[in-house]
A and B are shown apart, each in its own frame.
Chain A
């Protein structure tokens, strides 16, 4: 008994010495720039994906299922052939697959808030919204994966972009920019809701009708007048129209600007809202 105690004390003595030595006498570094703090949080997000790659299953499997199901189930009925329908819906599926992953930004934030590490982040001398912006930046890896999967699967099934691969890349980039803006709606939700599950359910409940009541899967002309009017003003339709334009090589500057404008508006409203809620938590 007394022997182990002496041993412990000796070990502790050594430890205290080591800790004293480890205390840095270096001058306090200048606080990081907002950009550097954001990139550090983005790196944190990517590390989490690296440690638990399974969490990308959602981002990879859902797009595969969507593409297969829509093409083979509705292709014959809606367009007369699966090949033709694939040409029509792929820009829409690209949008849908990527947009669905944005809900996870809100889920992840809600999960984070239950952990002690947020307290440390908030006691650091960094640009206040950096943890939020960084997390969304890290999530864009997910958006990129989901979008790429749709394009690869579509190509295997026979999709050929009339606007060339440049157009496809441009559509992917535009979708990611829009998702980056939309993610802030869900981070706001993530700060209001009580549990990650509630965020997920509410998020999908909002996204499902919005994506289906768009021009992604059927031409709006075939819809009842009232519904057609809604589809025309649904921001999700803006994205699909622009994507279709870019991928078919018929893009109009106005369509793309409309998407960028909507993204800007979402960002302008929901970034301050999220930061405010985050600060108050």
Chain B
């Protein structure tokens, strides 16, 4: 019983179906207070449905969950007063200005008129939106919209924040900004449940990750546990001259290990855990006169995680449950 207060989220056997489609099929989660926890999975895996149940927007068909000690069904109101949600579609009103959006949320959270206004102004300032504050949100860029969305989520600091794919569709710069915001929130003690399709994102932000597939948690652990269970990163090299591929393969083979020849006649790749050794191998290619068009050292992608965990690639199945929900 004493442990109950240490956990921000404890879910057991959570399930939800939409007609014939089972979107979530017995999800167990436990998230420590103050943690950033990632839910990783492809489209239609059941991430959004899980978040919507935890945020009291959907009633589960099966299982139970407590959020900050409150039951999500019987004490939904108590849950709502300590969480905030940033949905997959930006949860802001496109037909109002940025400032009006923040005042609206402030008033709905119980702030007085004057407090709501001054809070809106200081948030706009902190999120770099002061200049755009009087413009309608429908004219905002994706990144600005997402920043406003996050600002709206912290008009009153929540104890727990649900973030559903906060960087999907953003350019790298906006994505970095959003990551910075999430880090700042986490450091101030807000628990964050983060849904994402990117292993990279979960790796950057989360202390724990649950991998979700077809409505079930299929793996759980820290990012490094997960990555090591999947295998190493990969060095990808593209050559200027396809004719040099054989000699390049021999060099990389000696430096790093078994080389995989890609279908592209000028590309090859090799497993590589150590960035320094990767860099050395690339330098060696140069010294031996192999002309390189480009190279990259990547972590395993979600696809590779999936392949390793399920033995099949990510399916973008057409009966995506995310779409079923939107209907």
Interface residues of A (CB under 8 A from B): 8, 12, 15-16, 18-26, 28-32, 36-37, 40, 43-44, 47-48, 51-52, 115-117, 119-126
**Cα A126 to Cα B180 with chains together (Å):** 30
**Cα A196 to Cα B225 with chains together (Å):** 49
User: From residue B118, how far is it (CB to closest CB) to chain A in Å?
Assistant: 11
Interface segment, one of B16-24, B38-46, B75-83, B300-308: B75-83
Contacts of B180 in A (CB 8 A): 12, 15-16, 19
Interface of chain A: mostly helix, strand, loop or mixed: helix
Interface residues of B (CB under 8 A from A): 52, 55-57, 77, 80-85, 87-97, 100, 104-105, 107-112, 115, 119, 122-123, 125-128, 136, 152, 154-157, 162, 173, 176-177, 180-181, 183-185, 187-188
**Cα A36 to Cα B109 with chains together (Å):** 10
Offer 15 A-B interface pairs, CB within 8 angstroms, sorted by A.
A15-B127, A16-B181, A16-B183, A19-B180, A25-B157, A28-B81, A32-B107, A44-B100, A115-B93, A116-B88, A117-B94, A119-B85, A119-B87, A119-B91, A123-B80
Contacts of A47 in B (CB 8 A): 96, 100
**Cα A32 to Cα B116 with chains together (Å):** 13
**Cα A23 to Cα B157 with chains together (Å):** 6
Contacts of B90 in A (CB 8 A): 116
User: From residue B227, how far is it (CB to closest CB) to chain A in Å?
Assistant: 24
Q: A16-B183, A47-B100, A124-B80 are in contact. Are A116 and B92 (CB under 8 A)?
A: yes
Of B88, B94, B104, B128, which is within 8 A of A15 by CB?
Answer: B128
- CB atoms of A24 and B108 under 8 A apart: no
- CB atoms of B177 and A15 under 8 A apart: yes
- CB atoms of A32 and B177 under 8 A apart: no
User: From residue B36, how far is it (CB to closest CB) to chain A in Å?
Assistant: 15
Contacts of B77 in A (CB 8 A): 125
User: From residue A192, how far is it (CB to closest CB) to chain B in Å?
Assistant: 13
User: From residue B326, how far is it (CB to closest CB) to chain A in Å?
Assistant: 8
Q: A23-B154, A23-B188, A36-B107 are in contact. Are A120 and B92 (CB under 8 A)?
A: yes
User: From residue B149, how far is it (CB to closest CB) to chain A in Å?
Assistant: 8
Of B85, B125, B177, B188, which is within 8 A of A120 by CB?
Answer: B85
Contacts of B91 in A (CB 8 A): 116-117, 119-120
- B96 nearest in chain A by CB position: A47
Contacts of A40 in B (CB 8 A): 104, 107-108
- CB atoms of B95 and A20 under 8 A apart: no
Contacts of B94 in A (CB 8 A): 115, 117
Of A19, A29, A37, A123, which is within 8 A of B84 by CB?
Answer: A123
**Cα A16 to Cα B84 with chains together (Å):** 20
Contacts of B88 in A (CB 8 A): 116
- CB atoms of B126 and A18 under 8 A apart: yes
Of A8, A48, A125, which is within 8 A of B95 by CB?
Answer: A48
**Cα A43 to Cα B97 with chains together (Å):** 13
